[in-house]
Every structure is written in C-alpha cells, then in structure tokens.
Structure 1
Amino acid sequence: MVQTPIKSKIENEMVFEEMQKAGVHYGRAKRYTHPSMKPFLIKSLHNIEIFNLNLTWQKMNEVAYALADFLKADKKILFVGVTPAASSSLTQFALTFNQPYMTYKWVGGFLTNFSTSLSRLAYFRDLAKKEETKELEEYPPKERAKLERELNKLKNIYSGVINLEKLPDALFIVNLAYPSHQTAKREALKLKIPIFALAGSDNDISGVDYVIPGNDKAPKSIAFIINYLEEKIRSLLQVS
C-alpha cells in the first residue's frame, strides 16, 4: 500500500491560485446544497456556495493515493461521466491508465444486470471483429446497413468497456447529482462496489467511499482536478 503523507493545507500559493482560476472553489446556488456536502463549504458568495480549497486539496491527495493503490493491485476502476463537462477529461484519464470508462451514456442495469451486459459486450465484440475482417461487406446491403448503424451505436456507448469481463472493483463518478450518475451510484451501492466521486455542492455523498469536494460542473475545474490526479498517480506509480 502506498503511504499517504497527506498535507491538510495548501502550502504552495501558486497551486491555490490555479485552483481558483479553474473555478474549483465554486459550488451551486445555496438552495441546491445537499446537507452531506456542508462540511466542505466555507461560505456563500452572492448566494453561491464556496468550497474550502484546503479540504479539496486534502481530498484530492487522499483520492490520488487510494487510486494508486487500486491500480498497483491491478484492479479495474470504471470511470463514469457522461456530462459534456466531464466526458473528455475522464475518457483521457481512463485511457492513460488502461481503465474502463462510460462517458457517452450510462446504461441502466449495466452493473446490476451484468450477465446481460456481458452478452451485449460479446455481441459488440463480434460485430467489431466482422467489421475489422471485412466480413460485414459480405452481407446483403440492407442487413449490412442495419448492422453498421447498430455497431456505431454500440461503439458510442460501450467502446470504453469493450474488454470488461467482470464487475469493476470500483467506480469513479464525476457529478453524482446527474440523473444517470445517480443510477450508477445506486447500482454500485447495491453490489457493494467502492465509489470514488468528484462531488459538487448539490451532490448526495452518502455511501461514497472517497470524495473530492469541488466544482463538478465546469470543464476547467474538472480538467484541473483530473490532471492533478493523473500527475500525482504517475509519480506514485513511477510511470513516465
């Protein structure tokens, strides 16, 4: 296990300024605040909740060490973030560490009906192989067109999990307040799969194992946090 010498306060003023520039400290309007997020908030400004960046920084480091432990043990973490703000950063993060991801659409029951999901993935792999070997070109035009449309749909949804053969060891979700992400969270909790989350002020983090409190709605904020996690994990795993 990677030892965790977590510092509770940001000692580098430049890091603090970068977090502010990225808008990491912004929550949502006060009326949307979920009670479980209140310990991470320091004040409200013009009715907008403001995160305590020292706590955010502390949690970013704790999560980086925990993720590194999972990766070091060859565990699979499924990254979930289908919102436009999160999908690009999260996809690249998952690819960097050869992890599965769902950043286009969460399929309800993906975890809780995993045998069905495995069948769907097997079908996807079969169609993809037929495309690669040009076998699809041998089908009658109408059937071929139908299969190609279906394959494109499957690529959008399942490309990030095409090689998943068992339930993931953990989930990493950006924005638990988003409806389909709530579904992913419920499925993980039902199956007792650990959950990592980047959570905004409107998120319900009950049952979540590892939380980074911060702006989960803005692309710049999400990218800053994800980039930091990537660099920190690389250093912990000594990956170039």
Structure 2
Amino acid sequence: MPVATMRELLESGIHFGHQTRRWNPKMRKYIFGQRNGIYIIDLQKTVRQLRKAYQVVRDTVSNGGIILFVGTKKQAQEPIAREAERCGMYYINSRWLGGTLTNFQTVQRSVARLLDLEERDANGKLDLLSKKEAARLRKEKARLDKNLRGIKEMRRLPNLVFIIDTKKEAIAVREAERLGIPCIGIVDTNADPDAVPYPIAGNDDAIRAVNLFCRVIADAALEGAAQGEKADVGDSRSVTRMKQDPRRTRDAEAAPQADAAPEAPVEAGVVAEVLAAGVEAAVDDAEEELEDMGISEDDDQDEDLDETLIR
C-alpha cells in the first residue's frame, strides 16, 4: 500500500508553491514549473521524499524512539495535535518557547508547575484560596497548558522532530540541529531545503496538504510502534503507554539511515493533466481558504524570532 498516491497529493494541493517573487533558489531542483505566477512543485520528488520520511519515522519508533510534532501556524495547529495524539506522540502547536530542546530541564520545571496546578485544581485546593489568588493561579495554569499541553508527559528529548513550515519554525530547526536531533520538515518554495536532513517539498499553507502530511507521519509512527511491540517478546505495551515507559531509553537508534524503499510507479500524465485542467481554479480555492481563516500570503514573512531563551 503506497504512503500516498500522486492523485492524493494533487487533490490536497501539495504541488502549489508560493508566488514566483517569493522563493528560495535552493528549491529550484524541486520545482516542476510555474503557472500564473505560482510555482508548481515536482510531486514525483515529493513522493520519494515522503516515502523516505515514512521509513525513517517507522524505523525510529520501532527502535523505541519518540517523535515531536511541531506546527504553530493556524492551519497546522489542529492536525498537528490530532495526529500526534492518534499515534501516541508529542506535539507543540501553540508557540515554540525558546530553549524547548536546548534548555530542556528548565522547560521541565515549567511542566512540573503545570502538573502541580492541575492536581491542586482537580482536588479542590485552589477553591480554598481567596478568589483573587485562585483566579491568578488558574490563569497561570491556562497559559502553561496552552504552551505545554502537548509535551507535558515528555520526559526526555525526542529522537526525531517533524516540522510543518521550517521557515516559520526556524528556532525549532536550529535547536534540533544544535543537539544533533534529525528533523523531517515540510519545505515550501520559499524555504531552505538544506536546513533539515529530511526535507519534503510541498505546500505548507493549505489545510488539506497539512492534514495529509501529518496523517502520513502518524501512520508511520503507528506502524513502527506495532513492529516494536512484536519485537518485544512477551511485552504487551500499547502505543499510549509507550510514552511513559522508562525502559525506552534514548539509546534507541534515532532516525536510522536505511535505504529508501523501492519506488512505486508514478501515475503517468496525472501531473500534466491536473495542471492543464485546473491550476487557476485550484489557486483561487487555496487563496479563498486562507482568506476565510484570516491568513494573508505574507503572514509568515515578518515575524520576530524570540531567541532569548536559547542556550
């Protein structure tokens, strides 16, 4: 069964890049052409990259590794959380706090604070305080939960990081690189594919595209977890317990360098057919989708990167 068919990628709009005036020359080799001022990504290369990423995730998890899903832009927040939870992994979908990886022990203290506040709220201890103090602590809890919800059970650094939009999540990419943690990153035509070891050329703005990428990575993690459980004779741990198991140490092989799986035949003529038939309509649909969410084409261009906590 293929990771994703060419037609699935086309229907998800993964082949649509940014406007031709906004591009990174390093993405030239992944560009099929341009239509109406929009770059078209070569999906044959995307299929190969996606298949390689699937294999890396599967093998990492089967060897006891854990994956961190990262995507804080509006389009990515819901699928990142949903798919990470589905495969029993961790995620950050609200805001990347500087030092999340490079200053991991400090972040863990914030996680401990969140867990303490949750316990005190659950057992009614906050109700014993003054209204003002209780409100202050609940506000603190809500803030911590928003930023740390997806990693509050993560007790060690991840073995692999999956990132939607490596340009927006530049701090996460640099922290992972500094610690030697490999990254799988979705790179649009305005990004640097050399920033991550496992780039996947594709649209990182369309909701359907982001959904597909997250689903494929989660499926790979689930397959890897199933393989790992079969390899552990007499071990009946489920995927959800995998995260808390202290026996899964970080000595597990992180992102093995396995040979790429044999390529499945690409559906002949599909790319040309779609480009000829409906590029303009698909571009209009994508723009309307972003407008409905209140997202402009330039939203990811001028954000200030807070690196004050990176160590």
TM-score class, shorter: 0.7 to 0.9
Q: 1:49, CA displacement in angstroms?
A: 0.9
Aligned to 2:59: 69
Structure 1 residue corresponding to 2:162, chosen from 172, 197, 201 = 172
- Deviation digits for residues 116-148 of structure 1, max 9, x if unmatched? 111111111111111122221122211100000
Between the aligned partners of 1:194 and 1:116, the Cα distance in structure 2 is: 22
Q: Tell me if 1:92 matches 2:82.
A: yes
Identify unmatched segments of 5+ residues in structure 2: 228-238, 240-311
Change (3 A) 1:183 1:224: same
- Determine helix, strand or coil for the equivalent of 2:101: coil
Aligned to 2:148: 158
Greater mean alpha carbon deviation, residues 192-201 or residues 205-214: 205-214
Between the aligned partners of 2:224 and 2:91, the Cα distance in structure 1 is: 22
How many residue pairs are counted as aligned between the two chains?
A: 228
Structure 2 residue corresponding to 1:126, chosen from 97, 116, 131 = 116
Q: 1:186, CA displacement in angstroms?
A: 1.2
Aligned to 1:106: 96
Structure 2 residue corresponding to 1:28, chosen from 5, 18, 27 = 18
Q: 1:36, CA displacement in angstroms?
A: 2.5
Between the aligned partners of 2:167 and 2:220, the Cα distance in structure 1 is: 27
Aligned to 1:214: 202
- Determine helix, strand or coil for the equivalent of 1:171: strand
Q: 1:172, CA displacement in angstroms?
A: 0.9
| Sequence identity percentage | 26
Name the TM-score, length of structure 1 as normaliser: 0.88
Q: Is the 8 A contact 2:46 2:201 kept in 1?
A: yes
Between the aligned partners of 2:150 and 2:209, the Cα distance in structure 1 is: 23
Aligned to 1:205: 193
- Deviation digits for residues 63-121 of structure 1, max 9, x if unmatched? 11110111112212111100111111111111112111100111112112222111111
Aligned partner letter, 1:90: I
Change (3 A) 1:150 1:237: closer
Aligned partner letter, 1:69: D
Question: Please, what is the CA RMSD of the aligned residues?
Answer: 2.2
Q: 1:195, CA displacement in angstroms?
A: 0.8
Between the aligned partners of 1:224 and 1:97, the Cα distance in structure 2 is: 15
Aligned to 1:58: 48
Between the aligned partners of 1:74 and 1:132, the Cα distance in structure 2 is: 33
Change (3 A) 1:78 1:44: same
Aligned partner letter, 1:76: I
Change (3 A) 1:116 1:231: closer
Aligned to 2:31: 41
- Deviation digits for residues 178-226 of structure 1, max 9, x if unmatched? 1xx1111111111111111111111112241112110001111111232
Name the TM-score, length of structure 2 as normaliser: 0.68
Between the aligned partners of 1:110 and 1:206, the Cα distance in structure 2 is: 22
- Greater C-alpha Rg: 2
Between the aligned partners of 2:138 and 2:171, the Cα distance in structure 1 is: 29
